[in-house]
Amino acid sequence: MSELGGNSREQLKSIIERVERLEEEKKAAQDGISDVYAEAKGNGFDVKALRAIVKRRKQDAEKLKEHEEIVESYMHALGMLADLPLGQAAIQRATA
């Protein structure tokens, strides 16, 4: 059967501790979210609608990011043209 040397043993302990620490943080964040919604509900808000808003905003952010990456790639492709007048025009067309 395989055995772990003292060095690996320390590493292992560190890994487990770090993961468990992070999982606690993750759970804390999730609990916080639940709390916020619970409080909102107590103040008369429609929690389902709130979740829908958050969801939509996240999707919007993703879409924006995606778009910016495309623009980015265009910019890069046009890179060597960027400081010339006609290059400027091309960039304008690509990002319009």
Partner DNA sequence: ATTGATCACACCTTGC
Partner DNA sequence: GCAAGGTGTGATCAAT
Alpha carbon distance 54, 90 (integer Å): 37
Minimal CA–CA distance to 54: which of 72, 32, 37? 37
Q: Which stretch binds DNA (CB under 7 A): 4-12, 49-57, 76-84, 88-96?
A: 49-57
55 CB-contact burial (10 Å; exposed 0-12 / middle 13-18 / buried 19+): exposed
Q: Residue numbers of the site for a second copy (CB under 8 A)?
A: 1-4, 8-9, 11-13, 15-26, 28-30, 32-33, 36-37, 40, 43, 45-46, 48-50, 52-54, 56-58, 60-62, 67, 69-78, 81, 84-87, 90, 93-94
Binding site for DNA (CB under 7 A): 27, 30, 33-34, 37, 47-48, 51-52, 55
